[in-house]
Amino acid sequence: MARNAEKDQALREKRLNHLLDCALEVIAVKGIGAVSISDIAAAAKISVGNVYHYFKSKDEIFDEILKRGQTAYGEFVTHTASLDLPALEKLHLICSSWLSVRNHWAHTILIHSARLAETSLPGTRSQVTERFTRNLLPVSAIIEQGQREGAVIDGDPLELAFYLVSLIQGLTLQRVPGAEVQAPIRVDGVLKLLDKRNRI
């Protein structure tokens, strides 16, 4: 009668991921701050009380979403950096992915909300920031590659990476549904800011 412990664990993992997916979805729709536990529970079609069998608190849910999102982004950037491509093409891949996928949008919102809010879990903010900083490194490496290729303007690669990512995030925030700034956002346009060649 006893279940396989391993299988149980896998099942739990799966439900947990489902819960986080639903939470992110509902955050994207209602906006963080307006999202309650019961919203999340309803989205995942489980009961309010049951949410607490998977997470200790609401903040832990947000923490987990952030961790997942930033980790996935970090892996994507690291992988992109390792490709055999010119630097500008790599950056193009990264920027267009970031600006196009809806989940990235929600994550950006969450990252900034987590920073802006007085979240109760003390570590959240510093962890978010730390992961953010760590994720700058692959981008910085790409930029360094671009400088070696003569394709990217001079300057401290980490600083430039920081500017690029901040710009992308800034642009993402201009696209909040219901408050879209009416100005074009084009990846090519953004990358020209770093492009050394077409200036002269």
Residue numbers of the site for a copy of itself (CB under 8 A)?
Answer: 30-34, 109, 112-113, 115-118, 125-126, 128-129, 132-133, 136, 153-156, 158-160, 162-163, 165-171, 173-174, 176, 178-186, 189-190, 192-194, 196, 198-200
Cα gap 68→51, rounded to integer Å: 18
Identify the sign of the CA torsion 4, 9, 10, 11: positive
Q: Which does 93 bind (CB under 5 to 8 A by kind): a copy of itself, DNA, none?
A: none
The DSSP call for residue 33 is T
Q: Residue 83 phi/psi, 5° resolution?
A: -70, 165
Q: What is the largest CA-CA distance in the chain?
A: 75
Write out the binding residues for DNA, residues 79-138 only, by CB under 7 A: 120
Here the tokens at position 75 are: 């892996």
34 binds DNA (CB under 7 A): yes
Compute the least distance from the CB of residue 25 to a copy of itself, in Å.
15
Q: How far is the CB of 142 from DNA (least distance, A)?
A: 39
Cα–Cα distance for residue pair 68/65, rounded to 1 Å? 5
Positions touching DNA (CB under 7 A) are: 2-3, 5, 8, 11-12, 15, 34-38, 46-50, 52-53, 56-59, 120
